[in-house]
Structure 1
């Protein structure tokens, strides 16, 4: 917890110490038990953003930051509730017979609201922790990365071996800037991030004019580039660093529908059973469309591979269809 931005040492220690008396049952239970002089509203916000309250009764993190008509957010109500509870516990409201007061303080009602989107949740998580914990922004696009990318951002670190090659890669734009050169020509720079690397691109001339509308933070981007030899240095006569020429860009969520042309179902002869075939038929019938459908039948023992096309049926290749195929352990390829 000490790595969470906004969560001081005192807050960490009081949470740990009071946890020794038993697991926290809810956010209210924790707030009542810890030292609120050490853990303030900012501490609660940091815990909520990092996922610290995910298992303590809330349905989503957005609930903790729900703003009421009076301008208060829910976490403020939690802290004030706990403060009143502790004041009541510590007060001298004791009867002549030494019995504690029975004043009851009701817990605030957890508001009902929609959760943040995946990108918003992970962005806020990274702001306080420095890394993604509960997932990665690209988790929803693993199939697009598998079938429609031939490189990742790590490849951009050394472009010399890639001269004259065409690369396709994807990532999320974390930062973008639009500027004017001294010659009064527009250009831009943007930072992309994938699972392994972060890379800063610069875009000039026609490339920038053609694709600048994609350069927006939190955009999931699929890009095609060609690596060209660098300009010749007049002083040395040698080429400078290779250049990146952008040839196409699209939002990652559109790639499957735009780039998919066919679906190939791979079957081993041992899988050609009536029940298995019926399941496959029902699945494909529910996802009819315009993409070509192929079957690849294999027999590893006989070293036979037979390709067949479905002349009477086409499918709609979507992430939903591929998810169903995955769930039923059906091997496939997308092209």
Structure 2
């Protein structure tokens, strides 16, 4: 235990890479460790066809995702990719296809790598790679067969003439689709999270996360902001339906049971990939762990109150110092967001008001209120 704590404290990147490599075939464990790493300020780099090795590695003060962490990418395919890469980096998607063995690195492997973002450095629009993959494989396959029978002198321009056909123009995937496919390939959301846009609101208005559930008593009612990461539908003895979900928030995941009447109301909502959801349920503590039983589910966009339209900080003018105002500015910057702030300087029965500039707008939260009121020693800010 002492050695583990020492390594974690003094070699956090190397320690994280080692832990991830131990769990490289366990998506749930990977997701847990990656969330913890982000909380510690450690950045994970996406898998990359030119930079990733088989395992997770340390790279320029960050941890690079290993190719073995991509689902459907086996040891044989990885070995062939690394062998083909050798000392010379791939310069294009076409270059990759020409140099690898398409028998070992097949379409299924390539699709997984595209969805994981492994070709982003060569072609950032993943939708174009997916749209052109079938045509590309056909053309490269033809080229390699012609090379095998030494007929390339007759067909030397075959590939070049159709290069543009490989990557047809395609609409970029919207963010939810991109993240859902990334999750499918990696088992984790890496380039972002569907709940990122709600991070401040969740912290201010819901406050509880999946990480807190183990501390709650049986039957405790909770509200969470989540996305569905897996869904299994089952038939009940009475001929109805129920669903067993795995849901994830920014801190972890939990199993949720959605019984008949609730499930019938929200079944279509649960099928939408990476849709942020508002979930109300109660805790069920069991010997093999805890789960939630859903009572209500709705779109987070419609269910979550958006909070106040402005915040007012009321200060006793005779007591305010320049140092306090400078510290207040620092607090507002740390809690930056969309809500405008107004200062009110109170003196006897008179009041002077000042609208702060847009760059000092903020996101309301209990922590913000506590910091401001602690700074001035009285309730200058309330919601």
Q: What TM-score do you get using the length of structure 2 for normalisation?
A: 0.56
Paired residue total: 269
Alignment equivalent of 1:221, drawn from 262, 265, 277? 277
1:26 aligns with 2:73: no
Query: Partner of 1:295: helix, strand, or coil?
Result: strand
Could you tell me how far 1:61 is from its partner in structure 2? Answer: 1.4
Q: Please tell me whether the aligned partners of residues 257 and 291 of structure 2 are also in contact (alpha carbons under 8 angstroms).
A: no
Instruction: Tell me by how many angstroms 1:220 deviates.
Output: 1.5
The question of whether the paired residues in 1 share the 8 Å contact of 2:256 and 2:292 is answered with no
Alignment partner of 1:65 is 2:130: yes
User: Is 1:123 aligned to residue 123 of structure 2?
Assistant: no
State whether residues 174 and 217 of structure 1, in contact with CA within 8 Å, keep that contact through their aligned partners in structure 2: no
- Residue in 2 aligned with 1:174? 229
Residues 251-303 of structure 1: per-residue CA shift (max 9 Å, x gap)? 122356x4423332779634999xxxxxxxxxx9xx9xxx9x652579xxxxx
Counterpart for residue 113 of structure 1: 170
Cα distance change on mapping 1:13 and 1:308 into 2, 3 Å: farther
Query: C-alpha deviations, 1:32-85, integer Å up to 9, x for none?
Result: 1222332222222222122111111x342122222xxxxxxx212212222333
Once residues 104 and 265 of structure 1 are traced to their aligned partners in structure 2, the CA distance between those partners, rounded to angstroms, is 70
Q: Whole-Å Cα distance in 1 between the matches of residues 234 and 170 of structure 2?
A: 39
Residue 364 (structure 2) pairs with residue 333 (structure 1): yes
Q: Which has the higher helix share?
A: 2
Cα 1:102–1:158 change in 2 (3 A) is same
Match of 1:262 among 298, 309, 312: 309
Maintained 8 Å contact 2:281/2:292: no
Q: CA RMSD in A?
A: 4.3
In 2, are the aligned partners of 1:176 and 1:217 still within 8 Å (CA)?
no
CA deviation after TM superposition for structure 1 residue 178, in Å: 6.2
SS state of the match for residue 137, structure 1?
coil
Residue 195 of structure 1 is aligned with which of 231, 235, 250?
Answer: 250
Q: Does 1:104 align with 2:160?
A: no
> Residues 167 and 266 of structure 1: is their aligned pair in 2 closer, same or farther, counting only changes over 3 Å?
farther
Contact kept in structure 2, 1:227 and 1:245, CA below 8 Å: no
Provide the C-alpha distance between the structure 2 equivalents of 1:329 and 1:103, rounded to a whole number of angstroms. Answer: 62
Q: Does residue 157 in structure 1 map to residue 214 in structure 2?
A: yes
Distance 1:217 1:145 in 2: 21
Partner SS, residue 139 of structure 2: helix
- Corresponding residue for 1:238? none
Aligned pairs for 1:36-47 within 5 A:
36-47=102-113
Counterpart Cα distance in 1 of 2:109 and 2:196: 29
For 1:75 and 1:184, the matched residues in 2 are separated by: 44
Unpaired segments ≥5 residues, structure 1: 67-73, 95-99, 231-240, 274-283, 299-306, 314-323
Contact 2:247 2:254 in 1 (8 A): yes
Q: CA 1:226 to 1:294, structure 2 compared with 1: closer, same or farther past 3 Å? A: farther
Partner deviation per Cα, 1:288-320 (whole Å, 9 max, x = no partner) = xxx9x652579xxxxxxxx9988xx9xxxxxxx
- The 3 A distance-change label for structure 1 pair 255 and 60 is farther
Q: Give the deviation of 1:127 after TM superposition.
A: 2.5
Distance 1:87 1:205 in 2: 56
1:5 to 1:249, Cα distance in 2 relative to 1, 3 A: closer
Residue 54 of structure 1 pairs with residue 120 of structure 2: yes
Q: Tell me the distance in 1 between the aligned counterparts of 2:202 and 2:186.
A: 26
Q: How far is the alpha carbon of 1:331 from its aligned partner?
A: 3.9
Q: Would the alpha carbon gap of residues 188 and 16 (structure 1) be closer, same or farther in structure 2, given more than 3 Å must change?
A: closer
d(CA) in 2 for partners of 1:38, 1:78: 16
Larger radius of gyration: 1
| Aligned CA distance change for structure 1 residues 76 and 143 (closer, same or farther; 3 Å) | same
CA distance in 2, matches of 1:101, 1:242: 66
Query: Equivalent residue for 1:143?
Result: 200
